[in-house]
Amino acid sequence: MKLSKLNIALVVAAGITACSSQQAPSGSLPAGVTFIEQHQPQGDVVAIPYQKFELANGLTVIVHEDHSDPLVHVDVTYHVGSAREELGKSGFAHFFEHMMFQGSENVADEEHFRIVTEAGGTLNGTTNADRTNYFQTVPVNQLEKMLWLEADRMGFFLDAVTQEQFDIQQATVKNERGQMVDNRPYGRLWERVSQAKYEFGHPYSWPVIGHMDDIDRTTMDDLKNFFLRWYGPNNATLTIGGAVTTKEVLELAEKYFGSIPRGPEVEAMAKSPAQLQENRYISMEDNVHLPLVFISVPTVYAGHPDAPALNVLADILGSGNNSMLYQSLVRPSLAVQASAGHNCMELACNFTMMALAHPAAGKNLADIEAIIRQNLAAIEERGVNDDDLNRAIAAIEARSIFGLQSVAGKVSQLAYNQTFFNQPDRIADILQAYQSVTEDDVMRVYRQYVQDKPGVIMSVVPRGQTHLIAAEDNYTPRVYDPEVDGTESKLADLPMRRATDTFDRSIQPEAAANPAVMVPDTWSMTLANGIEVLATENDETPTSSLLLKIPAGSYYNTTEQAGLASMLASMLNESTENYSTEDMSMALELLGSSVRISAGDKDINVFVSSLTSNLPQTLALVEEKLRRPAFTEEDFNRLKQQQLQGLEHSLKDGGYLASNAYRQLMYGDHSMAMPSGGTIDTITDMTLQDVQAFYQQQFKPAGGSLIAVSNLSQSELTPVLTSFLSDWQGSAESLAFEAPWPEVDTATVYLVHKDDSPHSEIRIGRRALTRDLTGDFYEAYLMNFVLGGNFNSRINLNLREDKGYTYGARSGFSGNEFAGVFTASASVRADVTAASIEEFIYELNRFRTDGITDEELAFMRSAVNQSEALRYETPNAKLGFMAQMQEFNAGPEFTRERNHIVETISQQRINELAAQYLDPAEMVIVVVGDVELVRPQLEALGYPIVEM
């Protein structure tokens, strides 16, 4: 879909009523398909065109035609999430999502991932409190195959599932909870707050991922009954977007889904925001560095007319540098972070406020809570100004337009809004709602829902520091007890449903020829200051995305300067000679633009996202940031303290510890071994003068690059870019060093201790290849694809799907022009740390000695080559592709060379690479975990052990 370059706010306001039509599409519909509505924007309205239909069995089908790229996105959303679970069976909706990838009657175990990957596509599924969705993005010639897959698990799932599959996924979900919740700092925050906020038995009182005891209690009968109750076509929406025709989609939808019988009728759940009579204080000790206070106050529900005004209120209180909480807590260094938000779900919304206390300030969480409440009281005095409303409107307008850049983004919006509001495209209504918000509305919702209203106040403090909590606990939630509350399910004896077909579903549909893929047409020029420009026109949305790369990354720092480039990037995000940090943030927000500055290995990267109509104003602000930074002591000291606290926090993260240890072993005492954010020692020693000196010495345009994706033509964009940074001159030192090869004992376990860790982080690897586009490095990537480079890889199927040791395991080559490594990694249960290492070593040795099979080689060829249709769809994807072209001074023809390599690489060549780089005897093994738990296991492996 293409949008013009007109002012979007005016267009939306003028065209809101001109979007929908009840006129049926031309041509006859397949039997059993009923037309519901057609939504076609008139003129330049910001909207997502679609047609909506319904099958006789109740399945809603939404089609969005977008022929800009040869791909299609397929989404099936079921209106069931954790809110529809039974008491004592929490986590089942999410567990069931896992089970739906384990095969169906005509699709073997693990085949769903394999089929989509081999088709060149991507896929996943997600669960929240209110819905579960499954989605695939594939080349458009694979549409029928995707509908066959989705229909098979909707209609033919139960007879295929086995107890073994059930047991494996039960273990996988428990691993996911351990890795993503129990072993993550503050990971149980939402779970504890929800448990205290909602009364016993409320559908939001338990976590989506579930309680471990409840997951253990699930049975195959639960699985069967959950499917029969909620997974009928009448409780689902099939949304398809891409280079398709509505006629084709309807014929295939009716063929594959039409015969699936309806499920039980599903009624809407009652809206049920929490009802609190007084503040509920709860607390917990956690393996964290910074104490956190979190306040949650019940408000309305998703779609309520007061939600936009509450969102504006949350922005005023706690969004960005201009917010009240930032000014009162973060700027004076009383907190490392502070924010507010208004979070909505189908049945309830909550107004939330949080702060991470700064230890150096000497404040406990009671002090921080008092400051938050002082800010709430000050809202009456402060009121609401025009900028508050305008920046909220600008943000929602920009998000709406940027959300149209991918077919997946548009399809997900259509599916969400149909599921919860029976109105697939709500962009115009949402924009109208925000444009209608007044100062009086914001103050009214503040008084009605937030002012002096009771909430849940949660304190999370480091272990042994309960004296820091905001207040003594005054509420203990009731916990499910099967002995008291019973275990009998209300879902029992539901009748089986069976489709009757006139065709053989066991035959997998054949895909047509691969679609023609158009590599972006690019043009280039060199600015007067030496910045090399590479650009392309992309007229699907009226937006511009730019990536400016200045050669001043962390590799330009010595080991004693680690973190200096990162600190410079942070300082460039602060005040300038003519703008305070707050004024700059406000100016960008009013434009609907974003500017992100960060430090990479070789470059400081400046990412700019703007509505094209506002691009000149946005670039003027970017130039102010880059050319006229204020470098104030106040900004530096605040950022320095925040970085130090962030590093302390990172030391509680097993993944961070594993990465640091692994880099040290790979690169020794060298800048490549240092974390980009620095260390506590290097940041402590850093001065503002160091940052200024590095800026003056290294932050120069010569050698830089600028990549642009815009709906402007070359003739239109050239003068904009030519005037950008036109008076900035100078060159700096080029990066020239050799990555060291430190002497390190291989076939050795390097052990790093992490207190009370239920999971262990594993890294197994070695130094390998420098990066290239079409040479040995790329061939090694192809070699690794079936070993550890996709979901169906040998490593992941072994450790996750067969053993249930982890939520995910992988391997791969990474590198740059100086050095590269091969790494196999996973986060595994602590009790199977040694067993997991054994399986890694087994798979490495098996692949090294036996090589790739004919079937695996064919799978890799198909998966890699067919994925090209997905590589250039969005502006960000184009930026990444063009960044590779610039880095390696290559033309777009390198993609043809890569395709040729994929088609012709021999089994012998892949096996040679495996033999050369996959010998475990030449690798190190890094383990981060609780030494007391894992060392006895590791000793049994027989490797030397070195504690780091």
Q: Catalytic amino acids?
A: 97
DSSP 628-650: -B---HHHHHHHHHHHHHHHHHH
Per-residue three-class SS string for 404-460:
CCCHHHHHHHHHHHHHHHCCCCCHHHHHHHHHCCCHHHHHHHHHHHHCCCCCEEEEE
- Dihedrals φ, ψ of 856, to 5°? -65, -40
Distance separating alpha carbons of residues 434 and 312, to the nearest angstrom: 9
β-strand pairing of 749-753 with 945-947: parallel
Q: Are 920 and 805 in contact (CB under 8 A)?
A: no
β-strand pairing of 705-710 with 532-537: parallel
Query: What are 233's two structure tokens?
Result: 């076509």
Per the rule left: phi > 0, alpha: psi between -120 and 50, beta: everything else, 725 is left
Half-sphere exposure of 666 (CA within 13 A, CB side): 29
Beta strand segments in 749-791, E: 749-753, 759-767
Distance separating alpha carbons of residues 432 and 11, to the nearest angstrom: 11
- Dihedrals φ, ψ of 271, to 5°? -65, 135
Q: In what order do the strands lie in the sheet with 749-753?
A: 806-815, 820-829, 759-767, 924-929, 749-753, 945-947
Q: Are 807 and 736 in contact (CB under 8 A)?
A: no
* Residue from 410, 315, 294, 356 nearest 652 by CA: 356
Residues 6+ positions from 442 with CB-CB distance below 8 Å: 309, 312, 313, 316, 384, 388, 389
**Amino acid, single-letter form, for residue 367:** D
Q: How many CB atoms lie within 10 A of CB 370?
A: 12
Helix then strand then coil, in percent of the chain rounded to 5, is: 45, 20, 35
Kind and range of the H or E run holding 122: strand 122-127
Distance separating alpha carbons of residues 468 and 855, to the nearest angstrom: 60
Residue located via tokens 């229909």: 151
Distance separating alpha carbons of residues 419 and 77, to the nearest angstrom: 8
* Residue from 443, 321, 422 nearest 79 by CA: 422
**Amino acid, single-letter form, for residue 145:** K
Residue located via tokens 């594959």: 256
Per the rule left: phi > 0, alpha: psi between -120 and 50, beta: everything else, 615 is alpha
DSSP 577-644: SS--HHHHHHHHHHHT-EEEEEE-SS-EEEEEEEEGGGHHHHHHHHHHHHH-B---HHHHHHHHHHHH
Q: If you count them, how many residues does the chain have?
A: 948
- Dihedrals φ, ψ of 526, to 5°? -120, 125
Q: Are 511 and 70 in contact (CB under 8 A)?
A: no
Handedness of CA 227, 229, 234, 237 (dihedral sign): negative
869-880 burial, b for 16+ CB within 10 Å, e for fewer? bbbbbbbbbbbe
**Amino acid, single-letter form, for residue 684:** T
Identify the bridge partners of residue 296 per DSSP, sorted by sequence position.
352, 456
